[in-house]
Amino acid sequence: PEAIGAAAVDYLDMFGYTALAFMWAKMAKAAAGNAEGDTSGFYTGKLKTARFYFDRLLPRTVALGESIRSGADAMMAPTAEEI
């Protein structure tokens, strides 16, 4: 039970990053089909923003996964007096 509580926030963060990655993939696919001849920069901007998300933000899930797998021992080790 302690491991579930210890991992809860990291799990929710990881799910959020993953769900957004799915949405960015869908937007990038749609933008790629419309980018040619785009004079406003709207579609190319979407593609560049998607690249930023996948290169800079999505990799955070690796650290979150490690934190989730680390368990609750370090979190539960201090006594109430020690905190």
For residues 71 and 63, give the distance between their C-alpha atoms in angstroms, rounded to a whole number: 14
What was the pLDDT predicted at 32?
96
DSSP for 37-64 reads T-SSSHHHHHHHHHHHIIIIITTHHHHH
The domain segmentation of the chain, as residue ranges, is 2-73
pTM for the full predicted model = 0.85
Give tens-digit pLDDT for 57-79.
999 999 999 999 999 999 999 99
Does residue 1 have a pLDDT over 90?
no
Q: Nearest Cα to 54, choosing from 23, 81, 82?
A: 23
What was the pLDDT predicted at 29?
97
Q: What is the DSSP letter of 70?
A: T
Give tens-digit pLDDT for 7-52.
999 999 999 999 999 999 999 999 999 988 889 999 999 999 999 9
